[in-house]
């Protein structure tokens, strides 16, 4: 366990995943580890703002969000809006912006909420999130997940929920600078387990754990 830096602000929140190195505080969250590069890189992104929206899958809210089930779209209300289930969406934003993001979502969905049941819930502190990036990231995930991750079946912008290391996990293909990249989203209590499983699976591919 690292010693807290003298004079540094105390973190308000800690994610479930053990930071890989010296820690610092970002947007109230304890973040750790230096940025490192490698053939496959795994980064803990638990502090990202995460707002879940539930509404009818074919209603007004669905039309406003404009993201169908199984797809993830950048831009719009959140940095990334994911159609994570039928009538279920996950909006992501930078760390510390969950209240603003939820406010934006509530505002945008107000016309729909007047006519149908729409709920927005802040899941930021209840879920873990990590990003796996690299040319061979799909090969690492294939060792843990039965879904076909070939580009033709799961191209950039695909989202699905399935078992990853026997754990119900949202998998979001969100490529960075043309490099295959996957966001993995699970319950907080399972975050360290999933992180460790991905590290184990990626060992033979030269996986490197990096800071955000």
Contact residues: another protein, CB under 8 A: 57-58, 69-70, 85-86, 88, 146, 160-163, 168
Q: How far is the CB of 181 from another protein (least distance, A)?
A: 22
* Rounded (5°) CA angle 172-148-52: 25
Q: How far is the CB of 32 from another protein (least distance, A)?
A: 30
Q: Which candidate, 86, 59, 58, 56, places its Cα nearest to that of 71?
A: 86
Query: Are 86 and 54 a contacting pair, CB within 8 Å?
Result: no
**88 vs 122 by CB, closer to another protein:** 88
**87 vs 95 by CB, closer to another protein:** 87
Which residues, other chains included, contact 108 with Cβ-Cβ below 8 Å and sequence gap of 6+?
Answer: 64, 77
**69 vs 205 by CB, closer to another protein:** 69
Q: How far is the CB of 36 from another protein (least distance, A)?
A: 32
Helix or strand (DSSP H, E) at 170: strand 167-173
**5 vs 162 by CB, closer to another protein:** 162
Q: How far is the CB of 76 from another protein (least distance, A)?
A: 22
**58 vs 150 by CB, closer to another protein:** 58
CB-based burial label for 1 (10 Å; 0-12, 13-18, 19+): exposed
Q: How far is the CB of 26 from another protein (least distance, A)?
A: 32
- Give the whole-angstrom CA distance, residue 14 versus residue 28: 9
């Amino acid at each position: 366990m690292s010693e807290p830096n003298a004079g540094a602000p105390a973190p308000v929140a800690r994610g479930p995943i053990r930071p890989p190195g010296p820690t610092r505080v970002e947007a109230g969250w304890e973040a750790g580890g230096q940025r490192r590069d490698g053939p496959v890189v795994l980064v803990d992104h638990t502090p990202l703002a995460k707002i879940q929206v539930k509404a009818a899958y074919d209603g007004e809210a669905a039309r406003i969000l404009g993201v169908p089930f199984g797809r993830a779209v950048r831009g719009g209300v959140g940095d990334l809006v994911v159609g994570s289930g039928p009538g279920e969406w996950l909006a992501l934003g930078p760390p510390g912006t969950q209240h603003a993001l939820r406010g934006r979502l509530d505002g945008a969905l107000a016309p729909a909420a007047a006519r149908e049941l729409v709920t927005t819930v802040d899941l930021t502190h209840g879920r873990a999130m990590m990003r796996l990036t690299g040319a061979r990231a799909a090969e690492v995930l294939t060792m843990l997940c039965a879904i076909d991750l070939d580009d033709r079946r799961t191209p950039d912008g695909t989202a699905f929920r399935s078992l990853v290391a026997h754990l119900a996990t949202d998998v979001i293909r969100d490529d960075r600078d043309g490099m295959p990249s996957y966001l993995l989203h699970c319950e907080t209590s399972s975050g360290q387990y999933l992180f460790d499983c991905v590290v184990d699976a990626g060992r033979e591919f030269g996986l490197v754990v990096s800071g955000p």
